[in-house]
Every structure is written in structure tokens, then in C-alpha cells.
Chain A
């Protein structure tokens, strides 16, 4: 996973609430067995009209948002299914940061597994960021992971919360499995203990260290 320490990029505004993972990556693109190449399907049902042309009414199709890497969206972003195809598509499309007033739990956690930073801000802050984008479409924001700050050219500075472990993981591009395997002996020890508590689940199964 690529580390994310500092990022500067165009902020695109998607002023919709309850954006669900079915919209982020419609199910017709989930039959693939690969992990990459989902970017072109991002928001596919909203992005295109029936004849396959770009829908000019879809907010992210605005010319000013071309090449955007920061997505600013309404409340409860990423609700619905657990599909990691959603952050895969967002990331593959070129986004690095998503800003909203709240995120659905599974989506939020999936973002970090893919080097994507979800930033939760207050309703007032979201309004101020949205206003700034509307006032100067194509504006770029700065996101500083280490200092947990979001800075706009309009002078807004937002300090956001970030779990210290997730922050470290994001900044170093850490691999979760590698990290957990550092505690392999603890997992094995735990299983040894469990075998005593719930023997009916462990019959005929010899456990070995990881």
C-alpha cells in the first residue's frame, strides 16, 4: 500500500446524502475476480445517460472537477454493502481523500485498507468547504495527515480526528496482515486457551503455531 503523508489536490463536490456503495460501484461490475480496474465504473449509473454519454447533470462530471483527488460529499457516505470494490473504485479513479460529516462503519474501515483517508468534519465545516468549492470550482485543498489538518486557499483550517494506529498505518503504508503476524504467538496461545473453553469446536483438529 502506498503511504499517504501529505496530499494536495482538486476538491470535487458531491452534495448528496446517504451515497450508498451500490451507487459508488454498481453491482454489474462486481462479478470480476480482480482487485484493480474499477475506477472507470465509479458512480457509473449516475455518470452516464442511457445512451452511454456523460450526464451533464451529475455533479462529478463538471469540467472543473476533472482530475480531482479529494471528494467532498454529504452525510452518511458509503452506507450499504460491505463491498471493498467501493474504495477500490474511488482509489483507482484517483481519489486520495474523502470528506463528509459521517461515514458508514464498514466503508470507513475499508478505506484505510486501501490508503484512502476518510475525513469526518462538522456540518458547519462541510458547509464552509462546499461554499468554497462552489465559489471557486476547481480549487485545491491541502491535506496533512501527520498534523491532521485540512487547509484551504480561502484560509479555512480544519483539524480532524484520526485514530493514531490508523494514522501510522496510513503514513507508513503498513500491511495489516504482516502487523498482526507479529503477534502470531499470541493468536496461537489464545487458541490453546479456547480449546479448553469450547472443546466441542476443536474436536479432531490439531492446532499448530502460525
Chain B
């Protein structure tokens, strides 16, 4: 019996395994940001420990950084301290940090791939659940808590239990107007936010092979929203082409040597998974969430559901709570929902391809007078490239704001916050209560759907 990709990567990283003990696995890449690292650095300091492999680490400030007026000091004193603490910690422990003065700064899950820092076959961790993004490169990438961040810093390893595996195959050509984001949301709608709990998902099938690296990152990014700790896609020629020439990718003859090694991690033909799922991608239509959990999602052609039609008492109550919070009536067609705000960005959809897709929807239109729309590049380099392509001019001419890179309104830890009751079409990953601001109402959509909503002032079927 062959092995699947997860099993191959796992086997190649087990340092210690003994009956009755949690295995210890080696970690190749440790990504850090300002919110989940300070307590870990303090822990090291208290015990006079060092970072074992500073060259395997990459840090940046993304969660709390402002996306405008970057020439001025951060006005929020607590956020400012958090940013300064990361800079000081990185300096003290010798960790590479792209700080706010660097054009390489941005959302950690955008900049690490952009730098060629993550390679197939690696184990990648970060104190952030959306670390799942990096599985797009055929790595095993997952989020960890701050205690584990400290553990990885001190030992370059992690105590970790083996996961179960789920093979998720998408078949068929993506219809026009449907993107990787819609694949992810449709999957979550089908299996629920706990559907992948205990599993690592491998995404396969012709639909996934046809996705760009950006699309694969969007899909893997949302695996955590399906409850899976990680999502992954087998490396192929697209993966190699993406990595070639990037700063942290191997160069010259070593690249070929590495590429040959990376190929060994793809799942064997006869590999088995603990669970398998096949989804027809050609039947998927643009998705819009209506509730306060990513599983509360429907087609753009659909309606807000009725609580009485939910399966269980608990689901009915969750639906009632969600509708009350979202200020929505059952039976309302999705295309009748008006919005106040549009956020295009985040580790899910803050890459160049996302901005190209969003800009293409504008077609000379203007942002609806009732709508505030912001575009936040995932990194300084994404911003630069978008500007070279003239995308920023399209956004600005239409009335979108063009901001500096950061997590921004995905979780509203900076000044980009919804006011209570405001309704937002967002390209981010979570529609939890208060996620974008207390009382704020989030609808998760693809970048093209968000841009179209900005112009129309409500959701529209972009097909």
C-alpha cells in the first residue's frame, strides 16, 4: 500500500516516536507575527533559552498595523507596544523580520510564499490558524498556540499527534465567475466547520491542478474553516515555476536537486485516505455567507434560510441567533441584501491575482454612494506589482481606497473596523460575530463578488 502526501511528510519528520508518548516532529519553517509571539519570547528569556534555528524563522508585523498614514507613529499605544516588542525580540534573538519600513512587509501568509520561504515537503508552523495557506506548496503547514511557538523556538520541534487524512477531489472546469474562494466556501457549506476536525485535507483533481498557486493558497487557507488543521496540494510544475528565482528558493543546480526531492512527496497512486470526498466544481456557483459561521453559506442565487428548516434544535437556535445578529429575514434573496462596506484583502484573498479579478469587475463603474470600499494588498510587493500593472488606478478611479499592507479588516485589530450594524462584503475568511468590529455584519465572498457588490451596493450574480 502506498502512502499519501501527509504520511510521507510526517514520516520524513519524526524525530522520536514511542508507544504511549506523543511523537516529536521536526519543524522546517517557523513564521511569526506580533500577536502570538511576545509571550513565547518572554518564556525563552525567563529560561535563558535561544531560538534554535533563527534562519528557519521569518517574522513580520501584520495584525495590528495601520493601513494608512504609515509615516506617522501608531496611534494605538497597546498596538504600538506589540509591534515594537516584536522588533526588539527579533533583534535580540537574531530572527529575520520584515518590519513596517520594508517593502517586503505584509500578511505573513502572503510574504512567506512570496519570498520562496516555503518549499514542498516541509513542515511549516506559525502561531496563526491560517498557516494552512502554505499547504498549497505541498508542505504540511498548520497553526499552533503560543506555548507551541515557544517550544518550536527552543527545540525546532513539536510534540504532535498524527492526524487522520481526508482526500478532497474537485472535478470539472470552474465556471466563469467562480473562484477558489467559492470552492472553499462550497466545501465548508457541505461538510460544516467541524467536518474536517481531526483531519488534514489533501485537495486534488483536475480543478485543483488548473488553479494557480494563488488559487491553491486561497483553498488551503480556508481548510481551517472546514475544521481541518491543514490543507495541502501536491507540488507540480506550477509550484516549481512559482518558487524559481525567489529569494529563499534554492538557486541554480541546487534548485534542480531540490525539485527532484520535492516530487517524492506526492501521494502514491494507491495511497489511501481515512475519508474521501468528491465534489463537482463545474456545478458550483458564486457563494455568499449569510450567518456568523462560514458553514452558514449559500449560492448567490439562493435565499436566507429559515431556522425551522435546519436539521437539529441546536442548528435552529444557531440559525436564529445568526439571523438576529445579521439583521436578516428568512427567505430574503441574497441579491436583495444591500451592503455598506467592502473589504478586499487578507491572507485568503490579498494576492495579485485577487486584485486582478476584482479590478476586472469594475469596468468603468463607480463604488455605490452608500458603500465604503477598501483594497488592502497582502504585502508591499503585491502593492508594488499591482501598481506596476495599473490596478490601483482602476480601484482609485472607481472610488475604492488603496491602502498599505496588513491583515486590516479581516480581524479589525487596527483602525479598519466596522461600526455596529454595518454590513460588509468581505474577501476574508471568518464571518464570526464581531470579527470585523463589534456589531459588524460580515458576508464572505470572492474578490470578484466583493468588487461587483461595491459597485451595485448589493450582492449580484457576477456570472
- Chain A residues engaging chain B, CB cutoff 8 angstroms: 15-18, 20, 22-23, 26-28, 30-35, 45, 50, 74-76, 79-84, 87, 102-106, 109-110, 113-114, 163-166, 176-177, 179-181, 183-184, 186-187, 190-191, 194, 197-201, 205, 210
Contacts and interface: CB of A to CB of B under 8 A. Distances in A.
Nearest to B315: A17
Interface string B315-339: 1011001000000000000000000
B20 A165 contact: yes
Residue in A82, A103, A106 whose Cβ sees the most chain B Cβ within 10 Å: A82
A75 B76 contact: no
30 contacts: A15-B317, A20-B293, A26-B434, A31-B81, A32-B78, A33-B82, A34-B39, A35-B146, A45-B433, A74-B314, A75-B314, A79-B193, A80-B129, A80-B430, A103-B197, A106-B129, A109-B144, A109-B148, A163-B161, A165-B21, A177-B150, A179-B159, A180-B24, A180-B155, A180-B157, A180-B159, A186-B16, A187-B26, A187-B156, A200-B257
A28 B131 CA distance: 22
A27 B261 contact: no
Contacts of B10: none
Interface of B: 15-16, 20-22, 24, 26, 28, 35-36, 38-39, 42, 47, 49, 52-53, 55-56, 64, 76, 78-79, 81-82, 85, 127-129, 131, 142-148, 150-151, 154-157, 159, 161, 163, 192-194, 197-198, 227, 229, 250, 254, 257-258, 261, 293, 295, 314-315, 317-318, 321, 411-413, 420, 430, 432-435, 438
Residue in B64, B145, B161, B250 whose Cβ sees the most chain A Cβ within 10 Å: B145
B412 A27 contact: yes
B22 A177 contact: no
Contacts of A165: 20-22
Nearest to A77: B194
B52 A33 contact: no
Contacts of B64: 31
Nearest to A204: B55
A101 B298 CA distance: 26
A33 B435 CA distance: 21
Contact of A31 (B16, B47, B197, B413): B413
Given A163-B22, A186-B15, A113 B148 contact: yes
Given A76-B193, A165-B21, A200-B258, A82 B157 contact: no
Contacts of A190: 15, 26
B26 A177 contact: no
Contact of A23 (B49, B413, B433): B433
B318 A17 contact: yes
Contacts of B35: 30-31, 83
Contacts of A16: 317-318, 321
A41 to B, nearest CB: 13
B79 A31 contact: yes
